[in-house]
Structure 1
């Protein structure tokens, strides 16, 4: 992996709930390297998506620092692209027009080349002139990924991007995002509830505790690529992460790997 890209130090985030301050993220410390694929997992409500939105510059925070390439993050910027669970494409614009948003500073030829390249990147080169409602869920999400990449962000943030898709489409898009990551070399940070997805995609997996969200463990996924979901080594890493979830609920796993 490349040099250090993103540094989070002693990050704390609170929300006001019924007039009381509730701690959502507690003393988060994390370094992410250039070109790395990191997954964040944890119970619902542990602050995973909140952390991602802070990195995106969509939320502020009370204490600590979030620094990208030696610059403190205080607001959204084109150096960070974000993909949500819903594609959030503008329904009144074609797919090409959706991708063109944010490229106004470029001349027409350069803009068309970038859009064409990114439609090819996500296998949608024949669908640039259609509207979002004419695409399947998986195709719409690929278009959303392309839109997030057109400005060549340093970091791509993925907030449960495949959570609303059926199992087969999800597996297909997991392979697609890996192809994009390997080609573009973009640093990627994904929030997911799907532990198998995290093990399949990530170089490292950040396991968070229940609220207030703390980092319980950072698991290195030393499996190489072309990962076999049915292998013993894959299952061993999956179990290592699952144990944290069962610990939080005072349960135990009944199998050994």
Structure 2
């Protein structure tokens, strides 16, 4: 449903051209959960913003259901690392903020349905400052899903959370994906998170960002962080980040 072909992106920094992304080719199937992992600064968040239509590429094409992406659209929702809820609106108002052109009763139904989906029923009248970080991110996910997008894009949405809350939020997103079957693309620097959530892991190189490998996560046992399958996939991902002479020390450490 989503096709990226020959995509390049460059920026001008102090008058010097910097290549952020280079020759990106990727096909994403409907209902698939893709995770993108790579070093900080490798262009993975830039790629997500291009898919969202918030930035434009310099070379290449990107289409959703054969329609070229030229800007933002309701067919793509996005969740950022910070929840970015409007502090003067209630959670209910934040979730429904982007719903336009429908009658009041339908809007109320959709908002309440999505509050239930992220397990925030009973918190609709609260304000963002009254919620924990994890609850605020749930509200942001509900806001991203309420328009029934074709694709939900998640840009390191758990990066600001503590370790235990992060694991709980990973479980919540996996539950929501299994229930809704919305196509999801998540960017992260956390390899464990990429394995736990993704059906396929896209491994990106350091800048200029290129796709070094696409690793499938096929076995349900691979979602068990203590399984040999999980460890094996983690080693495959890590090998792409270290030169051979460094790998022995890294392998020993994990």
TM-score with structure 2 setting the length: 0.96
- Root-mean-square deviation (CA, aligned residues, Å) is 1.4
Q: Of 233, 247, 251, which aligns to 1:252? A: 247
CA distance in 1, matches of 2:97, 2:39: 35
> Which stretch of the first structure deviates more once superposed, 18-27 or 76-85?
18-27
Alignment of 1:230-245 (within 5 A): 230-245=226-241
Uncovered stretches (5+) of structure 2, i.e. residues with no partner: none
Count, aligned residues = 252
What are the ranges of 5 or more consecutive residues in structure 1 without an aligned counterpart? none
Normalised TM-score (structure 1) = 0.95
Q: Distance in 1 between matches of 2:46 and 2:55?
A: 8
Q: Work out which of the residue numbers 192, 209, 231 in structure 2 matches 1:196.
A: 192
Cα distance between partner residues in 1 of 2:127 and 2:221? 35
Question: Does the 8 A contact of 2:90 with 2:125 survive in 1?
Answer: yes
Match of 2:25 in 1: 29
The partner residue of 2:76 within 77, 80, 94 is 80
Q: CA deviation at 1:245?
A: 1.4
Q: Counterpart in 2 of 1:117? A: 113
1:69 is the counterpart of 2:65: yes
Q: What is the Cα deviation at residue 22 of structure 1?
A: 1.1
Residues in 2 aligned to 1:131 and 1:179: alpha-carbon distance in whole angstroms = 25
Distance 1:208 1:252 in 2: 18
Residue number among 67, 91, 96 corresponding to 2:92 in the alignment? 96
**Aligned position for 2:181:** 185
Runs of 4+ in structure 1 displaced over 4 angstroms?
none
The Cα shift of 1:225 comes to: 6.7
Aligned residues of 1:243 and 1:253 also touching (Cα < 8 A): no
2:148 alignment partner, SS class: coil
Secondary structure of 1:216's partner? Answer: strand
Q: For 2:38, which of 42, 48, 54 is the aligned residue?
A: 42
* Aligned equivalent of 2:127: 131
